[in-house]
Homo-oligomer: A and B are copies of this chain.
């Protein structure tokens, strides 16, 4: 099941996105949130007539950095053995939905995309054992962990470089059928369009993840309680590159569709 959040002529709603084929998708309004079994209100819209928003408004976005060995090598010029995965936070105010512009302020230079598989938490989660990770997950979505590479290294701490308003595109929806994903072989790609030319820049696979899903959730929840709607960014594979105003970036993950955002000057 795919849970989304939409803007429609009468307001905002949580919906189930139903149907097959991009042109036949329907957004069916639900009474509550995506964290319980859906009850339908009866209102529905063709998806093409409404606007998808970020599917969750997280109380926190917890991210695992340096979780793909190939990306560690390209960004940090060090082997992953010497720089193990680490944890950082992106603020809720950085979250935007599909097609919302990524807005780059003048001082944020070398702003790169990072296409990642994201987890949406479904239950209050503390001290979860790796083997039990599925019990606290509502589903998967796509995140673009937008990062000013220059600020990231200048600041040392990554919160500002990765926490600027609009630097956390999220969507298009939460896919709850997590058993349909093969986490040992999931394709993650990012396509950058510059001057009308689209090139595939990231073309990797979740089999490159250093810390696996169960470990990630055990690691985070040993320290922090996760709440329903919270988001975990599981790390970016190699291929990240700078974006400029006028570009469009699209992250594509098998089974989740794609998350596309234009880039603008703030």
Q: Please report A residues at the B interface, Cβ cutoff 8 Å.
A: 59-60, 62, 65, 83, 86-94, 105, 107-108, 126, 155-160, 163-165, 222-227
Can you report 27 residue pairs joining A to B where beta carbons are below 8 Å apart? A59-B93, A60-B91, A62-B159, A65-B157, A83-B156, A86-B155, A86-B156, A86-B157, A86-B160, A87-B155, A87-B157, A87-B159, A87-B163, A89-B91, A89-B163, A93-B224, A93-B225, A93-B226, A94-B224, A105-B222, A157-B157, A157-B158, A163-B224, A164-B223, A165-B223, A165-B224, A165-B225
Most chain B beta-carbon neighbours within 10 Å: one of A108, A156, A225 = A156
Which residue of the partner chain B has the closest CB to A158? B157
Copies of this chain held together in the complex? 2
**A contact face: mostly helix, strand, loop, or mixed:** loop
Q: Return chain B residues, CB-CB under 8 Å to A224.
A: 91, 93-94, 160, 163-165
Q: Return chain B residues, CB-CB under 8 Å to A160.
A: 86-87, 223-224
Q: Return chain B residues, CB-CB under 8 Å to A91.
A: 59-60, 62, 89, 224
Pick the residue among B62, B90, B126, B165 that contacts A126 (CB under 8 A): B165
Given A62-B91, A86-B156, A165-B225, output 7 extra A-B contacts at Cβ < 8 Å. A83-B156, A88-B157, A93-B224, A105-B223, A157-B157, A159-B159, A164-B224
Q: Return chain B residues, CB-CB under 8 Å to A107.
A: 222
A92 to B60, CA, bound (A): 7
Q: Is the CB of B165 within 8 A of A93?
A: no
Q: Return chain B residues, CB-CB under 8 Å to A105.
A: 222-223
- Interchain nearest-CB distance for A247 vs B (Å): 21
Pick the residue among B93, B156, B222 that contacts A60 (CB under 8 A): B93
